[in-house]
Amino acid sequence: MKKYLIVGGVAGGASTAARLRRLSEEDKIIMFERGPHVSFSNCCLPYHLSGVVEDADSLVLMCPEKFLKQYEIEARVNNEVLSIDRENKEVAVKDLLTGEVYKESYDKLILSPGAKPIVPNIPGIENVNVFTIRNVVDIEKLNNFVKSNGIKNVSVIGGGFIGVEAAENLKEAGYNVTLIEAMPQIMKPFDYDMVQILHKELYDNDVNLIVGDKVSSFEKDTVVLESGKKVQAEAVVMAIGVLPETELAVKAGLELGETGAIKVDQNYRTNDKDIYAVGDAIEVYNALTNSMTKLPLAGPAQKQARAVADHIHGKNVLNKGFIGSSVIKVFNYNAASTGLNEGLIKALNMNISYDIVYIIPGDKVGLMPGCEQVHFKLIYEVPTGRILGAQAIGKGNVDKRIDVIATAIKFGATVEDLRDLELCYAPPFGTAKDVVNFAGYVASNLLNDSFRQVRVSSVRELVESGACIIDVREKDEYEQSHIVGAMNLPLSEIRNRLDEIPKDRPVYLHCRSGQRSYNAVLALQHLGFENVYNISGGFLGISFYEYFNDKTMNRKMIVTDYNFE
């Protein structure tokens, strides 16, 4: 009989415990949790604020009694592990209800302490009611406070997953919500061109979104920003990020990695071979950046937990590293991403040559009810075509497309491989040439130098510099709304109006989504025009990209009034 102690009873800890039990019936397994609950759904916490998850108790998936009865796992809640005596292989534990401190020995110790919300010591922080969202107690505290105090104005600080989900769910509950992000954009898994859609959606749903402005201090029920702006807030949710819980590990002399999280080897062992660590407290190997990273997500935590239990039982599990896949719902939009994005490539100063595809096909056959556009961005290595990452945002099934890319990346796929994928097709589910196939085609064409493109992000500069922009949509589409100064030459007329197109300078073509203009670009090239570019993302992409900037930066519109409905 062996004795396994586990510190932390949520995703990583509980999964390790359950797998350890399945691998052996005789071992003693004890899980310590400082808080009153084990095995709660931390990812569902924000949904309690809106009532989507009405009963806070339901957030707790397994109680200690059930752990004991079903799995013979002792889950000691309200028990905090204070220290580790590595030499004698025992921990000191404090029962937080009785105050008693006791010792427990181990054969193997697994640390899954998680990460804690960062609450910076901003001047005047005592003037506001500050909340964080980490566990069931936190979310009940916040929910009860705003409900029972007649709160009207809530500020959420930090535009990551938890911040955005909290903002949405508070808004759904009827509060005036301000979401404040110091960086120029929310949601780092998305590039600036893609995230504009989410900025717009928050804005359109009446969330007072402020980006590129930092909290400088607090006054009575008020957030003061560096710009001087003041925001009333009877409650403030701090969601600027999390820090790995490393205190226990550091005190025990366990090594931390370069990211500040607990350092583990390929089998999730710390520098003490009898102590493993998993979950938000550790750093993992990113298989695309080839560097260590913090990846505080539930999916990886569960994979690590299983690998640890297997390793303890002598089963080899190859550690292939992580690429990071995630998804979020933002009101009516779904936004998913996997692998690298341009922001990350730049932030890490990665020495990698890449290009992107930005397409906006339908997520199903246009005739079907509920057909929605998918804004899809693919990032791939040049010249190899190796897929590095993708982002998809739309009202429909975007996660499906990103899951396919995430799978392809795991196998080192290239953009050519995407063309061959046979994905499920019937009109209510997709198109015969799926979004993913389509992206593969476009990327292959770019790699083969069939055509050249510019980004939606460069259109403003083109407009301001008086470049020749040709809108190849039909006349009625052009008349509804168009780029200021763009010439209308419908694809259906372009071959007969070649003399209207300048040959002495570059011309930039666009249609609605980039499909017709791609055909026009190829036709012009074949007809002897040498300096032709497709505007990837098309008019739709440009409109989304510019909308939020127009509204918040008071920049002059480069598009005549576009109706997003």
In the region spanning residues 4 to 63, those forming contacts with a copy of itself, defined by CB under 8 A, are 11, 18, 21-26, 41, 43-44, 47, 52-53, 58-59
The burial of 131, by beta-carbon neighbours within 10 Å (0-12 exposed, 13-18 middle, 19 or more buried), is given as: buried
Q: Cβ–Cβ contacts within 10 Å for residue 53, how many?
A: 18
Residues 6+ apart with CB under 8 A from 291: 285, 348
Q: Cα dist. 476→28, 471, 482, 540, 541 in Å?
A: 74, 12, 11, 16, 19
- Binding mask of the shown chain, residues 346 to 365, with x at each position contacting a copy of itself by CB under 8 A: -------------------x
Minimal distance in Å, beta carbon 17 to a copy of itself?
A: 12
What does the chain come to in residues?
Answer: 565
Minimal distance in Å, beta carbon 531 to a copy of itself?
A: 17
What is the C-alpha separation between 460 and 111, in angstroms, rounded?
51
Residues 162-221 that bind a copy of itself (CB under 8 A): none
Minimal distance in Å, beta carbon 456 to a copy of itself?
A: 23
Whichever of 59 and 275 has its CB closer to a copy of itself, that residue is 59
β-bridge mates for residue 232, sequence order: 222
Given a contact cutoff of 8 angstroms between Cβ atoms, the answer to whether 224 and 230 are in contact is: yes
Given a contact cutoff of 8 angstroms between Cβ atoms, the answer to whether 490 and 509 are in contact is: no
Minimal distance in Å, beta carbon 433 to a copy of itself?
A: 5
Whichever of 423 and 487 has its CB closer to a copy of itself, that residue is 423
β-bridge mates for residue 130, sequence order: 236
Minimal distance in Å, beta carbon 430 to a copy of itself?
A: 7
What is the C-alpha separation between 305 and 489, in angstroms, rounded?
59
What is the C-alpha separation between 242 and 296, in angstroms, rounded?
8
- Answer for which of 16, 39, 222, 302 binds a copy of itself (CB under 8 A) is 302
- Answer for which of 155, 196, 437, 517 binds a copy of itself (CB under 8 A) is 437
Minimal distance in Å, beta carbon 253 to a copy of itself?
A: 32
Minimal distance in Å, beta carbon 491 to a copy of itself?
A: 5
- 527 sits near a copy of itself (criterion: CB under 8 A): yes
Whichever of 79 and 338 has its CB closer to a copy of itself, that residue is 338
Residues 6+ apart with CB under 8 A from 500: 487, 489
- 290 sits near a copy of itself (criterion: CB under 8 A): no
Whichever of 354 and 429 has its CB closer to a copy of itself, that residue is 429
SS3 132: coil
Whichever of 161 and 544 has its CB closer to a copy of itself, that residue is 161
- 280 sits near a copy of itself (criterion: CB under 8 A): no
Q: Is the dihedral of CA 331, 333, 338, 343 positive or negative?
A: negative
Minimal distance in Å, beta carbon 443 to a copy of itself?
A: 14
What is the C-alpha separation between 44 and 31, in angstroms, rounded?
22
- Answer for which of 325, 453, 534, 543 binds a copy of itself (CB under 8 A) is 325
Count of chain residues binding a copy of itself (CB under 8 A): 88
- 323 sits near a copy of itself (criterion: CB under 8 A): yes
B/e letters for 174-191, b = 16+ CB within 10 Å, e = fewer, are ebbbbbbbbeebbbbbbb
What is the C-alpha separation between 493 and 426, in angstroms, rounded?
34
Relative to beta strand 354-359, strand 452-454 is unpaired
Q: Cβ–Cβ contacts within 10 Å for residue 542, how many?
A: 24
- Answer for which of 4, 32, 106, 161 binds a copy of itself (CB under 8 A) is 161
Phi-psi region of 304 (alpha: psi -120 to 50; beta: other; left: phi over 0): alpha
What is the C-alpha separation between 340 and 354, in angstroms, rounded?
11
What is the C-alpha separation between 365 and 80, in angstroms, rounded?
55
Minimal distance in Å, beta carbon 125 to a copy of itself?
A: 30
Residues 212-271 that bind a copy of itself (CB under 8 A): none
Residues 94-123 that bind a copy of itself (CB under 8 A): none
Relative to beta strand 468-471, strand 487-488 is parallel
Whichever of 248 and 393 has its CB closer to a copy of itself, that residue is 393
Our CA angle for 272, 277, 283, nearest 5°, is 105
Minimal distance in Å, beta carbon 273 to a copy of itself?
A: 24
Minimal distance in Å, beta carbon 28 to a copy of itself?
A: 14
Whichever of 232 and 267 has its CB closer to a copy of itself, that residue is 267
- Answer for which of 96, 183, 298, 501 binds a copy of itself (CB under 8 A) is 298
Give catalytic status of residue 43 as yes or no.
yes
- 548 sits near a copy of itself (criterion: CB under 8 A): no
**Helix, strand counts (H, E) of the chain:** 17, 30
Whichever of 70 and 88 has its CB closer to a copy of itself, that residue is 70
- 369 sits near a copy of itself (criterion: CB under 8 A): yes
- 326 sits near a copy of itself (criterion: CB under 8 A): yes
- 90 sits near a copy of itself (criterion: CB under 8 A): no
- Answer for which of 257, 299, 343, 506 binds a copy of itself (CB under 8 A) is 299
Whichever of 70 and 458 has its CB closer to a copy of itself, that residue is 70
Residues 390-429 that bind a copy of itself (CB under 8 A): 397, 399-400, 402-404, 406-408, 410-411, 413, 417, 419-429
Whichever of 335 and 459 has its CB closer to a copy of itself, that residue is 335
Question: Which of 192-200, 233-241, 269-277, 295-303 is the region at the interface with a copy of itself (rule: CB under 8 A)?
Answer: 295-303
- 491 sits near a copy of itself (criterion: CB under 8 A): yes
Q: Which of 43, 44, 63, 371 is catalytic?
A: 43
Whichever of 225 and 323 has its CB closer to a copy of itself, that residue is 323
Given a contact cutoff of 8 angstroms between Cβ atoms, the answer to whether 133 and 162 are in contact is: yes
Compute φ and ψ for 300, nearest 5 degrees.
Answer: -55, -40
Give catalytic residue positions: 43
